[in-house]
Amino acid sequence: MPVKLPRGYLSVSQIRTYQRCPKQYEYQYVYGMKTTFGSSFLLGRAFHKAIEEANRAKMETGEIFETEQVADVFSDAWETEKEEVEWKEDEDKGQLKDSGLKMTMAYYEEHGRNLSPFLVETGFMMEVEGIPFQGFIDLAETDGTIRDFKTASKSPTADVVDSSIQLAAYALAYRELTGQKEVKVGLDYVVNLKKGPKITRLETEIDKGRMERLKATIQGVGQAISAGVFYPNEEGFACGYCSFRELCKGK
């Protein structure tokens, strides 16, 4: 029996939303209700844009950006999207932007300048266990390494790289796009600490068991959505920042 999905496909972000709270998924994707996002999301978006543009220039023309150019891309992205943010009353917008700039420049100088891009923000659409699955690979390097970039306010645990649905999905898409198996996958974290940016690089390999679990997750979530299974996750951590909290709780 064919599945019926609100967008016609699944993505990593949709799966994460459904796993976090199926009711939240229903409000956002079935009813199309708009979500809000905070300053941490804006920082991540601007950081991604800066690294993406630097990688794209190197891949397409061989140009290697200066650190100041990367900072300029970050600033432009920040200014373009900052009006969409739901700011907290006590947030210092200027200080947050400065922190983001320092994080971006620190990462670029330590790792970003030396990346060897082969695929940059490359879209994919494939069928996994009968479920249409779509997304974008942030970066695949010429040596077969797939990378995703993260900004955070605290250091990640070492095992996060072994549980990332996103990395497994990128690996599956890479195999579909290139006909080859990736060498390894990794998460490059830039953490915003009071003493300055801390950069952590975590890498692993995707084995057969992990790939099978990814496929089972895509299939299970897709079938549950198609069947209209949308329940509130009362004990989940998402309630505290959910855009639909008051509506869901009838307040």
pLDDT tens digits, 233-246 = 988 777 888 889 88
- For 45-70, write each residue's pLDDT tens digit: 999 999 999 999 999 999 999 999 99
- Alpha carbons 93 and 214: distance in angstroms, whole number: 38
Q: What is the structure's pLDDT at 18?
A: 97
Instruction: Please check the confidence at residue 251 and state whether its pLDDT lies above 70.
Output: no
Instruction: Please check the confidence at residue 202 and state whether its pLDDT lies above 80.
Output: yes
Instruction: Please check the confidence at residue 21 and state whether its pLDDT lies above 90.
Output: yes
Q: Which of 130, 133, 132, 117 is nearest to 168 (CA)?
A: 133
> Which residues 6+ apart lie within 8 Å of 229 measured at CB?
22
Q: What is the structure's pLDDT at 192?
A: 94
User: What percent of the chain is modeled with pLDDT above 70?
Assistant: 99
Most confident range, picked from 32-41, 89-98, 111-120 = 111-120
Strand, helix or coil at 151? strand
Q: What is the structure's pLDDT at 167?
A: 97
Instruction: Please check the confidence at residue 128 and state whether its pLDDT lies above 90.
Output: yes
The neighbouring-strand residues paired with 120 are 139
Instruction: Please check the confidence at residue 1 and state whether its pLDDT lies above 70.
Output: no
- Alpha carbons 232 and 95: distance in angstroms, whole number: 36
12-225: which CATH architecture? Answer: Alpha-Beta Complex (3.90)
Tokens of 201: 């690089």
